[in-house]
Each structure stands twice: as C-alpha cells, then as structure tokens.
Amino acid sequence: MADWMLIAMVFGWFVNVARERRGIIERSPVNAAVFLIVIYSVVNLIRGYTFMALPADINLTRLMAWKNYMILPLMYFITMNNLRDEKNIKLLIVCICLAMLAMDFNFYSTFRWIKAEHYSNDIRISGPFSFLGPNELGVFYSMYTFLLIGISYFMQDKKIKWLILFVSACNLYPILFSYSRAAYICMIAGLFLLGMIKDRKLLLLLVVLIIGYSYILPNSVVERIDSTFLGKATVIEESVTSNAIGIGGVSVDTVGRKELWDKAKIYFKDHLFIGIGFDTFRHVEGMITHSLYMKILAEQGLMGMLVFIIFIFVILRQGFILYLYAENSLYKGIGLGFFLCVSVHLVGSITGDQSLYYNLMLIYWVFMGIVAHLSSQLMVKRQS
C-alpha cells in the first residue's frame, strides 16, 4: 500500500511539472548532500554483499532495508518540489499535530493500566511503535516536540499556535514514561539550545529541572534517572558484564552497549575507509550498534562519516539561514524548529540509531524538503 502511495505521489509530481512547465528538481545545496547520501548508500550496499557471504534471506532483508531507507530521500524530493505555499505547509503542521495527539492517546490508553510507582524494565512500552523500542519512541517525541516548539514561536495563526503548544505539552507524557535516558538527554539538549538561540528564560527552567528533578518528576522517572549513575558496590557487580563505562570518574550504566561499541571499533579499525557494508553489523553480530556514529564507523568507515558530516553541516546551515533571514514569520519558525529537530536527533543518536526507520524519520526528511525549498527561494530573493 505504501509503495502505491509513493508511486502516486511521484506521478502527481511529474504531472505538476508538466502543467507548470518548470524543472523537475529545484536547485538547492541540500540536493547535492542528499544525492551524496544516496550514492554512497548504493556503494555501501554493494560493499555489504562483497564483505561476507550471508544466506540469501539475509541478503534480501538487507536489500529491503535499503529500499525502505531510500523512501526518505524520495520524500525529500517530493516535498521540496511540490509543497510550495504557506497554506499547505500549515495544513501539514496541523496534520502532524493531530497524528501526534492520536499517538499520545494510544500511549496513554496503554500505559495508564500499568502500575508505575517504581521503575522496572517490565513497565516500559513502545506505544504505537510495536516493532521498535521505548528508546526510539522517546527520541521520536523529543525530536518533533522541538520541531513544533520552534515553529510555535513564530506562528501567527493563534489557533494553530495553541494546537502546537497543546500537542507539545501532551508529548511530555510519553517522553517521561518512555523511561528513555536518551530522550531525557535530548530534552535537556533541546532546552539548552533553544534557550541559547531564542528564549533565555528556558535556561533558568533547565537549571531548575536539573537541580530539582527529584522533587518535580514522578518517582519512577526519578528512579530511572538515578539508576544511570551507579554506586561503588553496583559498579563492581556490573563490571563483570561490562555494562558500565567511566566518564569523569563516574560509572555510567550503558545497558550492554559497551560490548557492541567495542565490536564496532574493531570492525572500523580493520576496515578503516569503507567499513563492512550497509546493514551488515546487525546480521553478523545479531544486534544493532545502539549508536548511529558507531554504526557509521563500522559499516561505512571514514568515507561514510565524511559523507554524514557534510550532510549534517548542509542541512543545519540551511535551517539556521532560514531562521535568521526569512521575512515570513512562519518560515523563520520552520527554520528554527528544523535546526532544533536535527540537533536533538544528533544527541539522541549517541546511544541510538533511528536513521533507517522511515516511520521515525519521515517528518524529519519532509521538513528537510520544506527547508530546502524555502531557503532556496530566500537566496534567490537576496541575490536579486
């Protein structure tokens, strides 16, 4: 069904191009970065097939994963070249808000039956993402909550603005009760960045939260946060399974990630330049790396990391330029919101990897297309 919808959107795109007699792809610096991602992913896919002989069903699974990943660049180009006016952009924002409200209700309707006076792994749920984990859920909500908050600062339509603020407030429920420490760090990073760029009052709020979180947050959430930092006795016990790493003299629980990161480092050292190939680590090791950066180093090598850095630099720059120089207030908000969204995702990717899941990353790539179009139009105006 999803494939047919994509085909229909591509068909509509070409119909619009023929009717309006314009180019198929609008010019933008983001295009080159996206093409670079696509081309290197093809090279990396081929590298995966040549790295190790795996069963045919695994090779097919890897090819399907790559195909699903390519949905994201396709949606970027569809959005950039078709979603071109303020009215439709507002409609998209409203649709995203309504969809997130439905997701919030889904999470609430499930979690409200769980006894959550104290934290345990058994009370964690994935809400609407039945095939993913609570960490992915928490980072998803963190990313798009800051996308919406950034837009809200410049949304002049009062009804939409209050809808955005209401949805952002509702999103705090699944963020808190995802019990995802990655999501909590994302929220801290997002508040800090937004406070530095736009609203200094948020820095005071952040200080209050950090100092008084044990009095403000629910008890089970506090227990989850406190379990990150292990006491000396626990450190000795946990060190047997290597689940704790030392940071500044403090041991931090990483829930088994250290072993996976060590394996990723070995693959990186042995295959320095191009890695072991697209989606190979999880099929060889039976687990994902639990870090986007470790995944890139292991599977794509230095070349892949360079491509990623170029990609991130370009899209962050375009978002920030749009925020600084757009004359339209909505477009300024989109620039700010997208900049925050990308930044929060980068923080969440330290201990997670959401990049291949199009159901998590679709909004990200759609707004990348919007930002690319708006910033391209802005540069044309400034040059004329």
Query: Of 348, 369, 384, 380, whose CA–CA distance to 137 is shortest?
Result: 348
Winning range, highest mean pLDDT, from 234-238, 362-366, 375-379, 380-384: 362-366
* Mean pLDDT of the 107-133 span: 88
Residues 316-368: tens digit of each pLDDT: 999 999 999 999 999 999 999 999 999 999 999 998 887 888 889 999 999 99
Q: What's the pLDDT score for residue 57?
A: 84
Number of alpha helices (DSSP H) and beta strands (DSSP E) in the chain: 16, 2
> What's the pLDDT score for residue 1?
61
Q: How far is Cα 63 from Cα 164, in angstroms, rounded to an integer?
A: 38
Nearest by Cα to 31 from 379, 384, 369: 369
What DSSP designation does 122 have?
A: G
Question: Which residue type, as a one-letter code, is found at position 105?
Answer: F
Question: What pLDDT shows up at residue 256?
Answer: 65
What distance in Å separates the CA atoms of residue 217 and residue 8, rounded to the nearest whole number?
46
**Inter-axis angle of helices 29-51 and 56-69, nearest 10:** 180
Query: Which residues are registered as beta bridge partners of 247?
Result: 250
- List the alpha helices (DSSP H) in 278-291: 281-285
Q: Residue range 123-130: average pLDDT? A: 86
pLDDT value, residue 270 = 94
